[in-house]
Structure 1
């Protein structure tokens, strides 16, 4: 049986709840990952953040355009409406920069123990609709992380 410990990554990108969204976003992008656990000062998992959590901060602003039969005033108004939409997006990004990750993180974290099987991990990810599982030891202390890619990679090693 392949266990979570066999498949998990032991070097985990993690954040504190006081880290800013700007910082978290830059690290996620730089490391080319889509989410990470949030830990307290004792390395206990207290939350998780994903790109989806960050994306929800940005309100979608799109002008209501009638592109089939635009009226002459629509054509004149279009650049103004587009500019207002861009200004609103820029304002949302500015607001997001000062928010701490603890304000948007998912607090109900689905975790797994290192001795669970990867098939149990895969089933848990599927049933809970999550893409990653922090691997925890005693008292929810973070010891690793397992992603869908890690599970697929571990399956490839068995063949």
Structure 2
């Protein structure tokens, strides 16, 4: 049996509760990860932020553009409306980038212990529709993180 401890990443990239979403998105992009735990000033995990959380924030702050074919008279005012909608989108994205991670993070984080098997982790991820699980010890301290990719990597290594 391959345990979570055998497959998890021990060096966990974390976000701070007061990081702006713009900073959090930059960290996720630079580190090529799709989410990260959020920690408080004492380095205790208080939540998790994913790309999906950021995408939902951007959807909330961006108006829907109604793209319909204009009538000939609409063509005159279309550039003015498009500029106004562009300005509204830009303002929404700027406002969204200033939101703090603590405002959009998932607070009830699904975790797993290091002693569990990777099949337990896979089942938990599938049933709860998550892509990563912070790994916590018996004291509740985060000791790692396991992702779907880690599970697949562990299976590949075990079959080599």
* TM-score, normalization by structure 1: 0.91
Does the Cα contact within 8 Å between 1:125 and 1:132 map onto a contact in 2? yes
Change (3 A) 1:120 1:78: same
Supply the distance in 1 between the matched residues of 2:87 and 2:139 (Cα, whole angstroms).
46
Instruction: Please say which of residues 97-106 and 54-63 is displaced more in the overlay.
Output: 54-63
Say which SS state the counterpart of residue 10 (structure 2) adopts. coil
Say which SS state the counterpart of residue 15 (structure 2) adopts. coil
Does the Cα contact within 8 Å between 2:7 and 2:146 map onto a contact in 1? yes
**Aligned counterpart for 2:65 among listed residues 63, 66, 81:** 63
- 2:98 corresponds in structure 1 to 98
Supply the distance in 1 between the matched residues of 2:71 and 2:124 (Cα, whole angstroms).
53
C-alpha distance after superposition, 1:9-44 (max 9, x if no partner): 111110121111121111111111111001123332
Q: What runs of 5+ residues in structure 2 fail to find an aligned partner?
A: none
Say which SS state the counterpart of residue 112 (structure 1) adopts. coil
Say which SS state the counterpart of residue 38 (structure 1) adopts. strand
* TM-score, normalization by structure 2: 0.91
Counterparts of 1:80-95 in structure 2 under 5 Å? 80-95=80-95
Supply the distance in 2 between the matched residues of 1:101 and 1:119 (Cα, whole angstroms).
31
- 2:126 corresponds in structure 1 to 126
Give the superposition deviation at 1:152.
0.6
Supply the distance in 2 between the matched residues of 1:5 and 1:91 (Cα, whole angstroms).
45
Aligned length: 157
C-alpha RMSD over aligned residues = 1.5
Change (3 A) 1:145 1:35: same
Give the superposition deviation at 1:138.
3.2
Does the Cα contact within 8 Å between 2:62 and 2:93 map onto a contact in 1? no
Say which SS state the counterpart of residue 56 (structure 1) adopts. helix
Give the superposition deviation at 1:94.
1.5
- 1:47 corresponds in structure 2 to 47
